[in-house]
A = this chain, B = another copy of it.
Amino acid sequence: MLNILITNDDSIHAKGLRSLIAIARPFGNVTVVAPDQPMSGMGHAITTNRPLRLRLLKEETNYREYSCSGTPVDCVKMGLHVVFKGQKVDLILSGINHGSNASSNVLYSGTMGAAIEGSMEGVKSIGFSLLDYDHDADFSQGAGFISEIIAKIIEMPILKGVTLNVNIPNAPKGDIKGIKVCTQADAYWKEDYIARKDPWSGDYYWLTGEFVNGELVEGTDIHALEQNYVSVVPVQHDLTAFDVLDKLTHWSK
């Protein structure tokens, strides 16, 4: 039976995590190691300046559930090196995130940080997100597609150093048209900070912002999602910008 490690960034209490567990259990032994508190926006952060806690919450046939006091990436590291401790893990699933991990959100996302860590450790890894921020979002709409993608990844050879970034449009079940393999769109957050005064007249700031799509380019994840397709972007952790190397090589001396 396959060993499957599941994590997320919305915490062990999130509805999206429960949906992913239900979808994954038919595929193998499921071990959950998820943050004990919300960790949205934690990207690839790890905890180095304080020790971590791991708490076994549930154990039954082919299922274990732990909470972890660290980031999503810490959850993957502790899952592999404390819980599984060298035992083979066949698949890492992260999510289902409440919100979007499309385009440049992949860099801020704790869900995707965890999945990328999985592929860095040599394990097939997928991050899932539903484009609905509601904590009570309806995750059933994408369940069939998620099952299908998990089945495909289990069957195929590992894509070394590659993670899948899967986003599900916020559309009623029958309206999702299918799957599109995509590139990462060039969209960005236009930030704005709201300044407030504390009771002692000190300033503090809330990060707010608006996600701005550039030109809607066909073949990108944002384009696919706007057309009601599930987007699948293969993501790598080698960040080398190979196409500009030749503009800089004359620096070498």
Residues of A with Cβ closer than 8 Å to B?
Answer: 38, 40-49, 51-54, 71, 73-74, 77-78, 80-82, 104, 106-108, 110, 113, 116, 120-121, 149, 152, 159, 161-162, 165, 178-181, 183-184, 186, 188, 191-193, 195-196, 202-207, 232-242, 244-245, 247-249, 251-253
- A82 lies within 8 A of B120 (CB): no
Tell me the minimal C-beta distance from A206 to chain B in angstroms: 5
Number of this chain's copies in the complex: 2
The answer to whether A204 touches B152 (Cβ under 8 A) is no
Cα–Cα distance between A234 and B218 once the two chains are bound (Å): 27
Checking B207, B245, B247 against A74 with a beta-carbon cut-off of 8 angstroms, the contacting residue is: B207
A82 contacts B205, C-beta separation under 8 Å: yes
B-side contacts of A232, CB under 8 Å: 248, 251
Least Cβ–Cβ distance between A64 and chain B, in angstroms: 16
A81 CA / B207 CA spacing, docked (Å): 10
Establish whether residues A241 and B251, one from each chain, have CB atoms under 8 Å apart when the complex forms.
Answer: no
Further 20 A-B residue pairs, CB within 8 A, beyond A52-B193, A152-B251: A40-B49, A41-B45, A41-B49, A42-B43, A44-B107, A45-B71, A45-B108, A52-B205, A54-B203, A54-B205, A77-B193, A107-B237, A179-B252, A181-B245, A181-B252, A183-B238, A184-B238, A186-B238, A233-B240, A234-B240
A248 B181 Cβ-Cβ under 8 A:
yes
Q: Decide if B203 touches A53 in the complex (CB within 8 Å).
A: yes
Question: Which one of B53, B234, B244, B245 lies within 8 Å of A245 (CB-CB)?
Answer: B234
> Which listed residue (B46, B52, B113, B244) contacts A234, Cβ 8 A?
B244
- A107 to B205 CA separation, bound complex (whole angstroms): 27
